[in-house]
Amino acid sequence: MTIKTPTLLLDEALCRKNIREMTEKTAAMGLTFRPHFKTHQSHKTGRWFREYGVDKICVSSVRMAEYFCKDGWEDILIAFPYNPMEVNEIRDLAGKTNLGLCITGPQSAELLARDCNFKVSVMIKTDTGYGRSGSLWDNSAGLRETYRILKQCKYISIKGLMTHSGNTYKAKSREEIQKISELSAERLIYARDSIGDPSLLLSVGDTPSASVCNEFKGIDELRPGNFVFYDLMQYFIGSCRLDQVAVRVACPVADISSDRSRVVIYGGGIHFSKEYAETEGRKVYGLLIGKNGDGRALPSEPVYLESLSQEHGILRYSDGVPGSVSIGDLVYIIPVHSCLTAEALGGYLLGDGTRADHMQIKYRDTL
């Protein structure tokens, strides 16, 4: 097989190792492991999880829940605020799998209670500091009201409180991740105390904490997603080593400009996504990790992808381009954010030459 255009390579052995280690780690801590499947969005990769005993998952859309339900997953939490527009699809799903929904506050609770004539479990989304969605952890009145509304609907079983500490992505050290994680857990416990139902389970999920922390006091369930592949951003945060990253984008070299220390690759924003990370005060979109069959060779000095247009990317060398790089070579690049890169490329090439699937979002069939 010949790679001719930007292609996402997935190293099955590294990926399985990431899955196995996180499975063992959560088990050792006595936590329920409910990995988020939004990173890989792949039946094939999902089946690897199953081999390690995982039977509960998280997804980020109704569509994704449908995708994994089709592959036999029987306990699926849609970790995205309940979208009343999709109630018909949700009702169908609830008849096929043990479905969990995420409710963000009283208005969200009322909409679900109004529509709900199907059995479903609910997690109350709590904002413990990230500031994206959910009821603020110290908004006790709001949390109690949400709980009260949900409780009145006989179809709904309130299962617990969930939070996503996405603020760990901005952490600069492992200590900072640890602190955010601890504070988040304390706040989630505080939120449950305000509601006053000790049977509610507490669920947290983000790859930096799941990777770095060895204790989640008071927490019942962990929902990381990105760890399945990791990426350059997680490496910069300190969640992983480079040799744990299980994906690379293989890109043909399109042009070389040695006097400007630059290599233009066939690989742009539509392949990598335009997500960037910052290192040494500059934006980077990926890290070169070898060429022509050797996708593990770090150059002595890091060579970053410094800019992306629609189909082009520019690799910046520090001083000239090595004479060994030619137009038509394949270079391998660790992407900044593997979730978005996988979404952009829509499929994986495995080492044995077979492909792994990736759900295609695109237009939903209800249109």
Please state whether beta strands 32-33 and 221-222 pair in parallel, antiparallel, or not at all (unpaired).
Answer: parallel
The answer to whether 261 contacts a second copy (rule: CB under 8 A) is no
Question: How many separate helices (H) and strands (E) can be counted in the chain?
Answer: 11, 20
Mark the segment that binds a second copy (CB under 8 A) among 21-29, 178-186, 235-243, 254-262. 254-262
Cβ within 8 Å of residue 93, ≥6 positions away? 62, 65, 66, 69, 76, 99
Alpha carbons 298 and 338: distance in angstroms, whole number: 19
CA dist., res. 324 & res. 165, Å (int): 44
- Determine the size of the site formed for a second copy (CB under 8 A): 67
> Per rule CB under 8 A, is residue 13 in the interface with a second copy?
no
CB of 187 to a second copy, least distance (A): 16
Task: Say if CB 342 and CB 229 are below 8 A apart.
Answer: yes
Least distance (Å) from a second copy to the CB of residue 262? 8
- Separation between Cα atoms, residue 216 and residue 182, nearest integer Å: 7
The alpha carbon torsion through 150, 153, 155, 161 (nearest 10 deg) reads 10
Q: Is 129 in the site for a second copy (CB under 8 A)?
A: no
| Min separation Cβ 271 and a second copy, Å | 8
CB of 27 to a second copy, least distance (A): 27
Binding mask 142-181 for a second copy (x = CB under 8 A): ------------------------x---------------
> Under the criterion CB under 8 A, does residue 132 sit at the interface with a second copy?
yes
Binding site for a second copy (CB under 8 A): 1-5, 7, 38, 60-63, 80-81, 83-86, 89, 104-105, 107-108, 111, 131-134, 166, 252, 254-257, 260, 264, 266, 269-271, 273-276, 309-312, 314, 326-328, 339-340, 343-347, 349, 355, 360-364, 366-367
